[in-house]
Amino acid sequence: MINDESHPISIPQLVREAPFPVYGLIGNLLELAVCSVSWGSSNTRCSSVGFTYSSPLYPDERDNIEIDSTDASQSDIVYDPKDAFGNPLFDLDARLFQCYHLSDSVRKQAGSPQVVEGTWTIAQVAFTGEIRHWS
């Protein structure tokens, strides 16, 4: 895909050309709007597509929700990376709180997230995932 001033990205074309299912939100769910799109490639082949959404509920923070679709056939993709002792390399919760510039005291008050892990089917394609949310 070419993306420059003379060849702007076409989201429908990007989705059509991806060799794997691409997920995103349809309609105006919770008034979320796409504020950016990203994609990755491996050997000139599209390997990931991501959409970032913004919400009018949080006007000071542009990126509120991100949905990434990745080609599962890529052998070099690492999910939930861990060190030699089995500890996570990234604290996903801390990254979220840093993104929204929230203090440690706010994080303590929020507590641990509710985590839902499972297998879902969208458009007859099964996938596994994790949803984290705080009340």
Q: Where are the domains of the chain?
A: 1-73, 78-135
Alpha carbons within 13 A on the beta-carbon side of 87: 3
**Is residue 50 within 8 Å of residue 37, measured between CB atoms?**
yes
pTM for the predicted model, two decimal places: 0.59
Q: Within its chain, how far is the Cα of 9 from the centroid?
A: 19
Pairwise CA distance, residues 12 & 113, whole Å:
34
More confident residue, 12 or 91: 12
Structure tokens at 5: 């001033």
22-43 exposure pattern, b = at least 16 Cβ within 10 A, e = fewer: bbeeeeeeeebeeeebebeeee
Q: Render pLDDT for 39-90 as a digit per residue (tens, 0 to 9).
A: 888 777 888 899 988 888 877 777 778 888 888 776 555 556 677 887 777 7
Question: 29, 21, 115: which is closest to 68 by C-alpha?
Answer: 21
Structure tokens at 38: 């990203």
